[in-house]
């Protein structure tokens, strides 16, 4: 990481912080590593963990589709909002799975009215209420593509390990929803089992690693039965999706799976530092400048309070990574406008000196910046727009 930061620092010396920088070589290597770990199963890119159309194009090709040329390992996008999916389809994307249900009536109506959008976008559902919401948005719903989200959490007695999303858990639940969707005139094209407790949980202790193994084994049989139950009504499914950056080899090892999802593994934020399956090679950083020296051991930087989502706590705060040995102050943390750092390196810092940080999560940082500065191996810097830079904010 130090070598990457040396290169980023030299290449961006003329830029005034705060700014975000992405190392192109590391991004490419990380993309290759995800493909290797997926072992031949196509990877759908989680756009929430990218949040720049230009970076999506770097991974999927300029048609945002993937599956050809140097982009053979990646195919399609998992969008996080229907409005985003519609926007991406407007830029050429033809295989967009919306990873979460929507209640956006305007976007549903727009989808239903447009044949290209209907063919390019797949909605996520987990209840008949979703079907009713789609029905209510437009009378033109025939052929709308839907995917059933099946709860992939682990239950041990009363203990729930995993995220709280879909109420659909058993093969019977999934089959009943598939039947209802077909009765509404929708095309049931897929099922998704997102095992957050495996894909999104670092291997922080032996019990966690044990739980992950147990969960993968339980899910394997439930996934097979769930897919069979749905397919008995729909015929062969196009999409059986699962996984995330932290679980590619485990998820792709299940022959039921047709595709895995990954996004965070491209940028590698700090929450992805402690997985057994891969060695982190961070690609995305942000730089802040020292603007004052309140004490000999403290430098105070401009900006920095880019706190990640999830349970509030130390793991969600950005981490100063260069110069090495700097840390945030416990009382102030990363501030709205001012971020003090302390440590040996702070003693020699002058006004205007830079500190490089990593964010805790992958895409959220780019909601703070209009552009991300992409640095090539030869030191060339290209500013590419983030979603925000294109005036797009999907929540």
Ligand X SMILES: Cc1ncc(COP(=O)(O)O)c(C=O)c1O
Which residue ranges make up the site for ligand X (CB under 6 A)? 46, 49, 78, 99, 194, 199-200, 244-245, 261-265, 362
CB of 279 to ligand X, least distance (A): 16
User: Tokens representing 73?
Assistant: 């390992």
Helix axes 24-38, 53-60, angle to 10 degrees: 50
Question: In the complex with ligand X, which residue's Cβ is closer, 147 or 178?
Answer: 147
Question: In the complex with ligand X, which residue's Cβ is closer, 194 or 278?
Answer: 194
Q: Output the residue with the shortest Cβ distance to ligand X.
A: 244
Question: In the complex with ligand X, which residue's Cβ is closer, 92 or 202?
Answer: 202
What is the bridge-based pairing of β-strands 354-358 and 319-322? antiparallel
CB of 264 to ligand X, least distance (A): 3
Give the number of other CB atoms < 10 A from CB of residue 49: 24
CB of 136 to ligand X, least distance (A): 25
Question: In the complex with ligand X, which residue's Cβ is closer, 46 or 121?
Answer: 46
Question: In the complex with ligand X, which residue's Cβ is closer, 264 or 339?
Answer: 264
Task: Categorise residue 39: left if φ over 0, alpha if ψ from -120 to 50, beta otherwise.
Answer: left
CB of 272 to ligand X, least distance (A): 8
CB of 192 to ligand X, least distance (A): 6
Within 8 A by CB and 6+ apart from 1, the residues are 281, 282, 321, 322
Question: In the complex with ligand X, which residue's Cβ is closer, 244 or 303?
Answer: 244
Question: In the complex with ligand X, which residue's Cβ is closer, 341 or 362?
Answer: 362
Closest of 342, 382, 389, 343 to residue 365, by C-alpha: 389
CB of 41 to ligand X, least distance (A): 14
Question: In the complex with ligand X, which residue's Cβ is closer, 161 or 299?
Answer: 161
Among all chains, which residue has been given the structure tokens 């291997």? 203
User: Tokens representing 260?
Assistant: 């895995």
CB of 40 to ligand X, least distance (A): 18
CB of 148 to ligand X, least distance (A): 13
């Amino acid at each position: 990481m130090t070598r990457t930061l040396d290169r980023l620092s030299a290449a961006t010396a003329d830029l005034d912080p705060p700014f975000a920088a992405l190392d192109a070589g590391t991004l490419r290597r990380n993309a290759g590593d995800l493909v290797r770990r997926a072992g031949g199963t196509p990877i759908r890119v989680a756009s929430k963990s990218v949040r720049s159309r230009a970076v999506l194009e770097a991974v999927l090709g300029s048609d945002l589709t993937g599956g050809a040329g140097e982009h053979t390992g990646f195919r399609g996008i998992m969008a996080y909002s229907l409005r985003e999916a519609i926007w991406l389809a407007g830029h050429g994307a033809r295989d967009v799975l919306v990873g979460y249900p929507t209640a956006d009536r305007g976007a549903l109506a727009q989808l239903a009215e447009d044949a290209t959008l209907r063919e390019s976008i797949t909605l996520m559902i987990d209840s008949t209420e979703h079907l009713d919401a789609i029905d209510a948005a437009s009378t033109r719903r025939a052929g709308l593509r839907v995917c059933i989200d099946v709860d992939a959490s682990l239950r041990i007695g009363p203990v729930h390990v995993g995220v709280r999303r879909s109420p659909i858990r058993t093969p019977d639940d999934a089959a009943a929803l598939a039947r209802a969707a077909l009765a509404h005139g929708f095309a049931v094209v897929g099922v998704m089992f997102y095992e957050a407790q495996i894909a999104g949980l670092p291997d922080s202790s032996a019990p966690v690693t044990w739980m992950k193994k147990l969960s993968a084994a339980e899910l394997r049989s439930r996934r097979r039965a769930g897919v069979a139950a749905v397919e008995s009504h729909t015929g062969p499914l196009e999409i059986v999706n699962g996984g995330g950056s932290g679980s590619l080899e485990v998820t792709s090892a299940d022959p039921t799976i047709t595709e895995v999802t990954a996004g965070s593994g491209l940028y590698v934020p700090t929450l992805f530092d402690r997985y057994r399956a891969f060695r982190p090679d961070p690609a995305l950083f942000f730089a802040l400048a020292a603007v004052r020296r309140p004490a000999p051991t403290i430098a105070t930087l401009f900006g920095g309070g880019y706190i990640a989502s999830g349970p509030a706590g130390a793991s969600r705060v950005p981490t100063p990574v260069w110069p090495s040995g700097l840390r945030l102050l416990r009382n102030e943390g990363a501030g709205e406008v001012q971020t003090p750092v302390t440590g040996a390196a702070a003693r020699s810092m002058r006004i205007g000196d830079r500190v490089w940080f990593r964010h805790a999560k992958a895409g959220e940082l780019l909601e703070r910046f209009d552009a991300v500065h992409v640095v090539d191996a030869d030191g060339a810097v290209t500013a590419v727009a983030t979603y925000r830079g294109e005036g797009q904010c999907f929540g």
